[in-house]
Amino acid sequence: MRFEKIQNTCIPKVGFGTWRIGGEGLPDSKKDNDSLAALKSALSIGYRHFDTAESYAAGHAEELLGLAVQESGIPRGDLFITSKVSPDHLSYESVLSSFENSLKRLKMDYLDLYLIHWPRRGMNLADTFRALNQLVCDGRVRHLGVSNFKLKELREAVALSQSPLFTNQVSYSIPDRRMVENGLLDYCRQQSILITAYTPINHRNTRSSKTIQRIAETRGCTREQVALAWLVSQPGVITIPMSFNPQHQRENFQAADIQLTAEEMELLG
């Protein structure tokens, strides 16, 4: 597994997302067995960065992740755990309350990274960061970040955060390059802000692209691995794919070690 080093912190190039673990917008107990099996499989394969949120299955994803970690016996210090506060909870008191509830569900004492999940129109970002900065000062959160922030919002967040902003988590993939076109990628690199790419694989695009297929055949890997390798071959970019399938989990994990050449990167555009 390759790592990205930022702010004296090493984070795996490929982590594990938990959207659909334990349900989607609401908890679905019928998915618990499959969800726990997926998390335990990911941990056994070697995933150490797990990304979750209070809104995933209304907090149930955090509960299942906490349980899987607890049962794995892996020391907390070996893991990098990210969670997110929902846009409905961006007031000072609500941020602190949401954070405490996330920790309780995860059965953990701190978070490595805490994100604002989505910006909200009319939000008081200064009030939000007053709470987030306090959590860092108290040692409960090691790094702060945002998700789905556009350039204007990101600039404001950088100004309000008392510690260097760690990441902006955004949709980024071979067919989805909005963050390149709108200047977000360049700004993040200038500010040493990590890009965490979610939805990294567009299966329709991946399966229909002759270029991806050709590179996959040459390298003896899957097309999905090429799509992930395109992301993690870029400096300052990591990704958090998710799969319930152990074989796909392993392939995603191994994609971190595929370093595409400059020529291959140019072919992919």
Opening angle at CA 200, ends 84 and 238, nearest 5: 65
Q: Specify if 4 maps to a domain.
A: no
Task: Measure the CA–CA gap between 257 and 269, rounded to whole angstroms.
Answer: 20
Q: Specify if 97 maps to a domain.
A: yes
- CATH number of the domain bearing residue 163: 3.20.20.100
Q: Structure tokens of 207?
A: 């399966």
Asked if the model's pLDDT at residue 206 lies above 90, the reply is no
pLDDT band at 203 (very low <50, low <70, confident <90, very high): confident
Q: Specify if 35 maps to a domain.
A: yes
Q: Are 193 and 165 in contact (CB under 8 A)?
A: yes
Mean of pLDDT over the chain: 96
Q: Specify if 249 maps to a domain.
A: no
Q: Specify if 68 maps to a domain.
A: yes
Q: Specify if 137 maps to a domain.
A: yes
pLDDT digits (tens, 9 = 90+) for 9-21: 999 999 999 999 9
Burial (CB count <10 Å: 0-12, 13-18, 19+), residue 121: exposed
> How many domains are contained in the chain?
1
Domain that holds residue 176: 11-199+236-243
Q: Specify if 251 maps to a domain.
A: no
Catalytic positions, please? 56
Q: What percent of the chain has pLDDT over 90?
A: 94
C-alpha 50, offset from chain centre:
7
Q: What are phi and psi of 143, to 5 degrees?
A: -140, 150
117 is in an annotated binding site: yes
Q: What percent of the chain has pLDDT over 70?
A: 100
In this prediction, residue 202 carries a pLDDT of 83
Q: Specify if 263 maps to a domain.
A: no
